[in-house]
Chain A
Amino acid sequence: MSRPHAAPGRRSRGLYALTAVMALGAVAMVAPFVWMLLTSLKSPSELTEFSWLPDQLRFQNYTEALTAAPFARYFLNTAVLTIGQTALTLLFATSAGYALACTPIRGRKALNAFVVILIMVPFYAILIPEFLVVKSIPLFGGNSITGQGGIGWLNSWWGLIIPHAIAPIYIFLARQFFVSLPEELAEAARVDGLSEYGIFFRIMLPLIKPAVITVAVFQIGAAWNSFLWPLLITRDDSLRPIQVGLAIFSQDPLNVQWAYLMAGATLAVLPMIALFIAAQRYFIEGMASAGLKG
């Protein structure tokens, strides 16, 4: 943390001015959220013309929004999707990171370079073949053993959760942390007769807890906010996550019910803002360390 290095006085006045400017900028940054919140509490008649503040705080917009569209179901789906992806990522990305960092497998360097290259694969570019792969998963969704004839993992929890879990960036992140641990630790545990899995789960994984939390918060954010993939592969409201639900609700061409839409949007962003405030350190350190190491 840098502190002002000059003498107080003239400089402190400049500092106040700077603080004011920065605060103004910060308010501008969150103004859209404030506007969203205010709109979500206005009555429909207030929304036919412009007004700054709601006449009265109409909290029933929220309960009404939940019946105007199956938002409750969408939220549940998002929760399942988020928990599923995060569990997969935490288990398999950290174990892969450990294998790359701490086990004597052959071709470790090449495999690591491979993971780094995979980080660069742009999701939007491989959308089409990924869709076809998911459609052709053998023996699912009416598919034959060769992956023909059915819909595979389309419109299923499998397809919703699995393809976008365990992103290579998380493997890489975990590996970076495992590499920095002293080798003697695992060595000592090995001498004690602990298996490699025991060493991973009981000794090494707890030691990189900050990295695990960082991976978790980024994966939770990515899953909670994911849109295009769920939009493509889900057909039923019983599977659609909240972002897809919001987008569909906002596209109703006849009359968008703005108060309800803003209520839905508020509910959709609130958990992420709460998570961010609670786990700030991990969001920020994760971003920062990725930026400086990468």
Chain B
Amino acid sequence: MTAIKTEVAGRTAAPPPRAPRRRAQGLQGSRKRAGWVMLAPALVHAAVFLLLPMVMLVALSFTDYQFLGAYHWVGIDNFVQLMSDDRWRTALLNTVLYTVVTVPIAMAVALLIALGLNSGIRARGAMRVLYYMPQVTATVAVATVWLWIYQPDVGLANSVLGLFGLPPQGWLTNPNLSLPSLMLVGVWQGLGAKMVVYLAALQSVSRDQLEAAQLDGANRWQTFWNVTWPALGPAHFFVFVTSTIASFQVFDLVFVMTKGGPGSSSTVMTYEIYENAFQGLQLGYAAAQSVVLVVLIGVFTLIGLRLQKVSSDV
């Protein structure tokens, strides 16, 4: 940084002589132009591939568009039909369940890992790499690995159960177990990013306050609740919102491991949207389902915001 500053000083010390005023205005204009030129590609891209699709999505959800042939406005028929669609109701409940179970568990485990890594143990760096590793690997690739682990006869999961004398399970074939099996993979894969955010937050907790608390005779538990926990507010908020948004969009795991089955026991909203749109070609109907997904994600983000407000007011 200091090198930069001296360089600047060196440059400003000897400004080349120029006609000041008129040039300054022309300069302002050319800077504006340059700004727009540099912004334009990204803006056009966002308008075409994000904004336009958002608008189209809402429009499509009021049609019976089926990819080929004519389509009609059907008003809110799609949404009415959604209400009595059992498979969709299951998908919606499964998605909410998946989120409500995996997000808090993963947050708690990630925080524990971060606390562990932040407590001065050995080989912290290496361990951080190992904990983070599932996060950087493709969901499809790890889903194929877990598909193999969950195999009923030759899979690792049942063999590990066997070590403890437990009976083998139909991880992906038992309708009561298929969704929890997916949740386990989801929690496992998502721990790394949450842990890293918590680690950064823990390292920014005020040193003075921690020491002051210890001088006041607070035990570690009290120190944690009164000093560390309040300082984690922004991290909680960020982790909650990003992982909620991500878990509402869980798809790759479901696609590779269960296809939503057995029956509809592990189907989720994104998988239903995919099936209806690209296998069933009911694009209007699937668009209505997508609108519901957007609204739900919005609601959960608002809940996160509200929680953040409440906790920072306290």
Of the listed stretches B72-80, B122-130, B171-179, name the one at the interface; the rest are far from the partner chain: B122-130
Q: Which residues 21-73 of B have a CB within 8 angstroms of A?
A: 27-28, 30-32, 34-36, 38-39, 41-43, 45-46, 48-57, 60
Interface residues of A in 243-294 (CB under 8 A from B): 243-244, 246-247, 250-251, 258, 261-262, 265, 268-269, 272-273, 275-277, 280, 283-284, 287-292, 294
Beta-carbon contacts of A90-113 to B below 8 Å, as 1s and 0s? 001101101110011110000100
Q: How far is the CA of A98 from the CA of B37 in the complex (A)?
A: 11
Selected from B35, B56, B122, B283, the residue in CB contact (under 8 A) with A133 is: B56
Alpha-carbon distance between A168 and B119 when the two chains are bound, in angstroms: 36
Task: State which of A47, A195, A269 has its C-beta within 8 Å of the C-beta of B141.
Answer: A269
Q: Contact at A272–B153, with CB atoms within 8 Å?
A: no
Binary contact readout B267-305 vs A (1 if CB under 8 angstroms, 0 otherwise): 000100110011000010011001101100100010000
Q: Are B11 and A188 in contact (CB under 8 A)?
A: yes
Contacts of B248 in A (CB 8 A): 122
Complex-state Cα separation, A168 to B16, whole angstroms: 39
Chain B residues lying within 8 Å of A166, measured Cβ to Cβ, are 41-42, 45-46
Asked if residues A15 and B121 are in contact (CB atoms below 8 Å), the reply is yes
Q: Which of A35, A93, A122, A221 contacts B297 (CB 8 A)?
A: A122
**Is B120 engaged at the interface, CB distance under 8 Å to the other chain?**
yes
CB distance from A27 to the nearest CB of B (A): 8
- Complex Cα gap A57–B46 (Å): 49
Residue pair B148, A262 in contact (C-beta under 8 Å): yes
How many pairs of A and B residues are in contact by the CB < 8 Å rule? Answer: 313
Tell me if B118 counts as interface (CB < 8 A to partner A).
yes
Any A CB within 8 A of the CB of B84? no
Per-residue A-contact encoding for B130-171, CB less than 8 Å = 1, 0 else: 111110111111111111110001111011000000000000
Nearest CB in chain B to that of A193: its residue: B16
Contact residues of B: prevailing secondary structure: helix
B307 within 8 A of A: no
CB distance from A258 to the nearest CB of B (A): 6
B12 within 8 A of A: yes
Interface flag for B97 (CB, 8 Å):
no
Asked whether A105 and B49 contact (CB < 8 A) given A49-B154, A96-B38, A191-B12, the answer is no
Interface residue A86 (Cβ < 8 Å from any Cβ of B)? no
Chain B residues near A3 (CB-CB < 8 A): 120
A33 at the interface (CB under 8 A from B): yes
Would A292 and B137 count as touching, CB distance under 8 A? Answer: no
In the assembled complex, the Cα of A57 lies from the Cα of B283 at a distance in Å of 49
Q: Check B42–A22 contact: CB distance below 8 A.
A: no
Among listed B85-93, B100-108, B198-206, interface-contacting one: B198-206
Contact A185 B113, beta carbon cutoff 8 Å: no
Contact indicator B294/A133 (Cβ below 8 Å): no
A126 contacts partner chain B, Cβ-Cβ < 8 Å:
yes
> A3-B120, A103-B32, A168-B50 are known contacts. Are A128 and B256 too (CB-CB below 8 A)?
no
Q: Interface-forming stretch among A60-68, A208-216, A223-231?
A: A223-231
Q: Interface readout for A54-93 with B: 1 if CB under 8 Å, 0 if not?
A: 0000000000000000000000000000000000000011
Residue in A closest to B199 when the chains form the complex, CB atoms: A288
Residue contact B34 to A103, C-beta cutoff 8 Å: yes
B294 contacts A125, C-beta separation under 8 Å = yes
Residue of B nearest to A28 (CB): B188
Query: Contacts A19-B122, A129-B287, A130-B49 hold; do A35 and B149 have CB atoms under 8 A apart?
Result: yes
**Interface flag for A235 (CB, 8 Å):** no
B191 interfacial by beta-carbon distance below 8 Å: yes
Tell yes or no: B249 within 8 A of A by CB. Answer: yes
> Would you call B98 an interface residue if the criterion is a C-beta within 8 Å of the partner chain's C-beta atoms?
no
- Is B121's CB under 8 angstroms from A22's CB? yes
| B4 at interface by CB-CB < 8 Å | yes
What's the nearest-Cβ distance from chain A to residue B245, in Å? 6
Contact between chains at B196 and A163 (CB < 8 Å): no
Does B263 reach chain A (CB closer than 8 Å)? no
Is residue A21 contacting chain B, with contact meaning CB distance below 8 A? yes
Quick check: B154 and A50 within 8 Å, CB to CB?
A: yes
Q: Does B214 contact A (CB under 8 A)?
A: yes
State whether B197 touches A291 (Cβ < 8 A). yes
- Determine whether A146 belongs to the interface, using a CB cutoff of 8 Å to chain B: no
Question: Is A120's CB within 8 Å of the partner chain B?
Answer: yes
Which residues of A are found within 8 Å of B158, using beta-carbon distances? Answer: 50
In-complex Cβ contact of B116 among A22, A187, A258 (8 A): A22
Please give me the residue from chain B that is nearest to A266 by CB atom. Answer: B141
Contact B294 A122 (CB under 8 A): yes
Residue pair A292, B235 in contact (C-beta under 8 Å): yes
12 A-B residue pairs with CB within 8 Å: A22-B121, A29-B131, A118-B46, A122-B245, A124-B290, A128-B57, A188-B11, A195-B34, A246-B141, A246-B144, A265-B142, A276-B132
9 closest cross-chain pairs (CB), A and B = A103-B35, A288-B200, A196-B34, A96-B42, A291-B197, A129-B56, A129-B53, A225-B138, A99-B39
Further 10 A-B residue pairs, CB within 8 A, beyond A32-B142, A122-B294, A269-B138: A1-B203, A25-B116, A35-B149, A125-B57, A125-B297, A129-B54, A132-B283, A225-B140, A246-B140, A272-B138
